[in-house]
C-alpha cells in the first residue's frame, strides 16, 4: 500500500520486511515464502537448506578475525496470523498485505500486518545480506507454522545446526530480554447433537457480538479484554433460561491463539418474548461495557432472520451452554517470583457448529508443567460432565530460564553501553519456539528479543518504527561482541 516503507531506516531490514508483506504466508500455507527465502539465500551464494518439513536454514561464515567466536543462530518464523476485520475483503492465500506508515508506526489496512514475525525474519535476512558487519559464524533458522502448532520447531532434527547461541527474534517489546516462556496445549471439546424440527409461534434472530479488541491469547490475556464466546454464551444462557430460546448455529472466534473478537449465532424464541429479549441484550451490552473498559467498541446486535427448519436438540444445547459457562478463561495464576507475569491461562478461542457437531477449541498455557496438567484436567472434567468428548493435542514444553547464561551477560552489557540502561529480563507468557528448539539442541544458550509490536494477532497490529532501528543496532552490536569459544 505504501512502498515508502522500504526506505525507512534501517533500509535493509525494511526492504526485506516490505517484500515479505507482498508474499501470502498464513500458517500452513507457507509454500511461497519458503521458496522466496530459499532463493534469497542461494542468490547470496550461501549454503541454503530446506528440510523435510519446510524450515529454511541459511549459513554465513564468520567475518575475518571473528572465526573464534561462538556460532549464533538467528531464528524467526515465516508464517503469520491471518486476521481481518469483518468488512475487509482480503484473501490471505492470494493477496499482499496493504501495509502503510501511520505516524510513528507501520500498520496494515484492515488486516494483521505480519510484523509477528516478519520483522524478525527481515532482520535475519539483513544480517545475511550485509557486507559490512562483524560477526562470528551465523546460521539463520526460518521455521514454519509457529502460530498454529509450532510444526517447524517440533520437526527440526538434530545435526542441521552447529551454533551454540540462539537469538530468537520474536519478542514484541524493545528493551526487554526474554529468558523463559510458557508451554502450551490444545484442548478440544466435541458435542454431538441431532436436529429437532422448528416449533410454531417462534421468531428467529441472528445475534452478533462484535467490536472487541481481541489480541494475543498469551501476551494480552492479562488485560482482561472481553471474550466474544463468553459474552455470546451469557446472552444465550439467559435467553434459554428465561425465554426458552433455541439455537440453530453458532460461530465464534477464528484462531485458537487469538482472544475471540466476534461471535455469531442464529436462534429463535417465542414471539411473545421478543421485546423482553431485546431489553436483555441491551442490559448485557451495557454491563459488559462497564466491566470491560478496554473494549468500548463492543456491540451486541439482534437482526430478525428467516426461520430455520431445524434446531440443535435441547439436551445438547443445555450441556453446551453450561459447559462454556463453567469453562475457565483468562489469566488463572501468576508467577510467585514475578507477580506481574501470568503463570497459567486458558483461552476459550472457538465455538463452532458444523454438521452435527459443535466444537469448542481452547488453548492452555503455563510456565509450570504441573499447572498446565491441572487446568487441562479441570477442562476435561467440566466438558465431559456436560456430555462432550475431550481431546488434547499440540502439547509443547516451556523454556526454563538461565539467569547465568553467557549471552545474557553480553547482551545486558551491550545494551547498557549503547543505550545507557540495563534491559529488563523477563519470562513471557507465550509459546516461543525456544522451549521446543532447546529440547532438540540442549547445548543452546538462548535469548529472545525484538522491536515493539502492539496488538499482534489482530487487525490493529502495528510496529514502532524507531524501535526497529534500536533493535537492529542492538542485534549487530551483539553479533560483534559474541562470546569467544571455550
Q: Could you give the residue numbers annotated as active site?
A: 79, 146
Q: What are phi and psi of 85, to 5 degrees?
A: -70, 155
Q: In Å, how far from its chain's centre is CA 431?
A: 8
Enumerate residues 6+ apart whose C-beta is below 8 A from 115: 17, 106, 453, 456, 461, 462, 463
Distance in angstroms (rounded) separating the CA atoms of residues 265 and 319: 17
Residue burial 86-119, b: 16+ Cβ < 10 Å; e: rest: eeeebebeeeebbbbeeeebbbbbbbbbbbbbbb
**Chain centre to alpha carbon of residue 398:** 16
* Cell numbers for 24: 501470502
Q: Identify the CA nearest to 35 among candidates 45, 23, 47, 46.
A: 23
Cβ contact 144:461 at 8 Å: no
Please list, in sequence order, all residues whose beta carbon lies within 8 angstroms of the beta carbon of residue 68, skipping any fewer than 6 positions away.
136, 484, 485
Chain centroid to Cα 215, Å, comes to 8
143 pairs with which residues across the strands?
77
- Give Cβ neighbours of residue 393 (< 8 Å, ≥ 6 apart): 185, 186, 188
Amino acid at each position: 500500500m505504501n512502498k515508502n516503507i522500504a526506505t525507512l531506516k534501517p533500509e535493509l531490514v525494511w526492504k526485506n520486511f516490505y517484500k515479505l508483506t507482498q508474499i501470502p504466508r498464513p500458517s500452513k500455507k507457507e509454500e511461497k515464502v519458503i521458496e522466496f527465502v530459499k532463493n534469497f539465500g542461494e542468490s547470496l551464494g550461501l549454503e541454503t537448506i530446506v528440510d523435510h518439513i519446510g524450515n529454511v536454514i541459511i549459513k554465513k561464515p564468520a567475518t575475518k578475525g571473528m572465526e573464534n567466536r561462538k556460532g549464533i543462530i538467528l531464528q524467526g518464523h515465516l508464517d503469520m496470523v491471518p486476521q481481518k476485520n469483518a468488512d475487509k475483503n482480503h484473501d490471505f492465500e492470494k493477496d499482499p498485505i496493504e501495509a502503510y506508515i501511520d505516524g510513528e508506526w507501520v500498520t496494515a489496512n484492515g488486516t494483521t500486518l505480519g510484523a509477528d514475525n516478519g520483522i524478525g525474519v527481515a532482520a535475519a535476512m539483513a544480517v545475511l545480506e550485509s557486507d559490512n558487519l562483524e560477526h562470528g559464524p551465523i546460521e539463520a533458522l526460518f521455521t514454519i507454522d509457529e502460530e498454529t502448532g509450532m510444526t517447524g520447531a517440533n520437526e527440526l532434527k538434530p545435526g542441521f545446526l552447529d551454533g551454540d547461541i540462539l537469538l530468537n527474534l520474536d519478542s514484541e517489546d524493545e528493551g526487554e530480554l526474554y529468558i523463559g516462556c510458557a508451554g502450551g496445549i490444545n484442548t478440544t471439546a466435541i458435542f454431538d447433537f441431532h436436529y429437532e424440527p422448528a416449533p410454531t409461534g417462534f421468531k428467529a434472530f441472528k445475534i452478533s457480538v462484535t467490536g472487541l479488541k481481541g489480541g494475543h491469547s498469551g501476551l494480552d490475556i492479562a488485560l482482561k479484554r472481553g471474550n466474544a464466546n463468553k459474552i455470546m454464551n451469557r446472552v444465550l444462557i439467559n435467553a434459554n433460561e428465561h425465554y426458552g430460546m433455541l439455537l440453530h448455529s453458532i460461530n465464534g472466534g477464528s484462531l485458537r491463539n487469538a482472544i475471540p473478537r466476534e461471535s455469531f449465532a442464529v436462534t429463535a424464541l417465542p414471539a411473545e418474548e421478543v421485546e423482553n429479549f431485546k431489553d436483555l441484550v441491551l442490559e448485557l451490552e451495557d454491563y459488559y461495557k462497564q466491566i470491560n473498559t478496554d473494549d468500548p467498541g463492543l456491540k451486541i446486535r439482534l437482526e430478525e432472520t428467516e426461520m430455520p427448519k431445524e434446531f440443535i436438540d435441547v439436551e445438547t444445547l443445555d450441556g453446551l451452554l453450561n459447559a462454556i459457562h463453567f469453562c475457565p478463561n483468562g489469566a488463572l495464576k501468576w508467577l510467585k517470583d514475578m507477580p506481574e507475569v501470568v503463570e497459567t491461562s486458558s483461552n476459550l478461542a472457538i465455538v463452532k457448529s458444523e454438521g452435527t457437531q459443535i466444537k469448542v477449541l481452547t488453548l492452555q498455557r503455563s510456565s509450570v508443567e504441573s499447572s498446565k496438567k491441572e487446568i487441562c484436567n479441570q477442562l476435561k472434567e467440566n466438558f465431559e460432565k456436560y456430555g462432550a468428548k475431550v481431546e488434547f493435542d499440540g502439547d509443547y514444553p516451556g523454556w526454563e530460564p538461565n539467569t547465568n547464561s553467557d549471552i545474557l551477560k553480553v547482551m545486558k552489557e551491550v545494551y547498557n553501553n549503547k543505550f545507557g540502561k540495563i534491559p529488563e529480563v523477563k519470562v513471557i507468557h507465550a509459546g516461543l519456539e525456544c522451549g521446543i528448539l532447546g529440547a532438540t539442541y540442549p547445548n543452546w544458550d538462548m535469548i529472545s528479543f525484538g522491536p515493539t509490536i502492539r496488538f499482534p494477532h489482530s487487525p490493529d497490529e502495528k510496529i514502532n518504527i524507531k524501535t526497529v532501528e534500536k533493535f537492529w543496532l542492538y542485534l549487530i552490536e551483539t553479533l560483534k561482541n559474541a562470546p569467544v569459544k571455550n
